[in-house]
Structure 1
Amino acid sequence: MWIVAAILVALVAVLHGYILVLEMFLWDKGPGRQLSGFDSEMAAATKPLAANQGLYNGFLAAGLVWGLILGRQDGHGVLVFFTSCVVIAGLYGAATANRRILLAQALPGALALAAVLIAGR
């Protein structure tokens, strides 16, 4: 089960790395504007806010990678913490910004968290 958990966590980390790139570097370009649905003026106006969000997503990705590097036993607590953070961020984002975040962020995080918990120590 640890292999499944590690794969799910790695996929969530990659997702958050991708979100970092979208929000920090591509927010006012095609991919970022497609994600947000903003016109060029709104994308330019919100670029600093998006970059800040992107940085936080990068921290989530870094924490997940850190937990994976630590391995099954030593990384268990780190993985539980960071996958829980992903789920909470996804729930909050779905409640306050866009319900799609529930499926795009919270669900993958919850699946990874469940796998980590099942894999145990």
Structure 2
Amino acid sequence: MTVIGLVLAGLAAALHVFIFYMESIAWTSPRARATFGTTSEEAEVTKSLAFNQGFYNLFLAVAVIIGILCVSGGAAEVGYTLVLAGVGSMLAAAFVLLFSNADLVASAIKQGIFPFLAVVMLVLGIAM
């Protein structure tokens, strides 16, 4: 189960790298505006906020990736700690999104499904 959990954590990290790209690099592009439901004017006004938030997502992904590498390299305690801290934070952020705006349920599910499944599989795998 831990291998499946690590794969799911890797998918969560990859998604958060993509979110970093959309928020920090492509925020004002038509694709990002359509994805996040912002107008051109709103995107310009919120550009610095999105830039910062994108890096938050990138740093969570980096923690998960380093954790996966640590587990693979034999430092299981450090690795699982990093992975669970990273995907746990991703999952918590998805819950914040869900409870802050009921219209964003689909976005919260997309953001939170891989972290949720990773946490479940890792906790079960580590406990066994």
Deviation at 1:107, TM superposition (A): 2.1
Distance 2:39 2:115 in 1: 30
Secondary structure in structure 2 of the residue aligned to 1:99: helix
1:43-62 equivalences under 5 Å are 43-62=43-62
Deviation at 1:32, TM superposition (A): 0.9
Secondary structure in structure 1 of the residue aligned to 2:92: helix
1:64-103 equivalences under 5 Å are 64-71=64-71, 73-74=76-77, 75-97=79-101, 98-103=104-109
The corresponding residue for 2:112 is 106
Distance 2:16 2:89 in 1: 12
Gaps of 5+ in 2: none
For 1:9-28, what per-residue CA distance to the aligned partner results, in whole angstroms no more than 9, with x for missing partners? 11000000000000001110
Query: How many corresponding residue pairs?
Result: 121
Whether the 8 Å contact between 1:8 and 1:112 is mirrored in structure 2 is yes
Secondary structure in structure 2 of the residue aligned to 1:120: helix
Gaps of 5+ in 1: none
The corresponding residue for 1:63 is 63
Distance 2:121 2:31 in 1: 31
Alignment TM-score, normalising by the size of structure 1: 0.92
Give the AA of the match of 1:19: I
Which runs of structure 1 show a deviation greater than 2 angstroms over 4 or more consecutive aligned residues?
97-102
Return 92-101 or 52-61, whichever deviates more: 92-101
- Please report the RMSD computed on the Cα atoms of aligned residues, expressed in angstroms: 1.5
Secondary structure in structure 1 of the residue aligned to 2:28: coil
Distance 1:32 1:95 in 2: 23
The corresponding residue for 2:15 is 15
Identity of aligned residues (%): 26
Distance 2:108 2:29 in 1: 24
The corresponding residue for 1:30 is 30
Alignment TM-score, normalising by the size of structure 2: 0.87
Secondary structure in structure 2 of the residue aligned to 1:27: coil
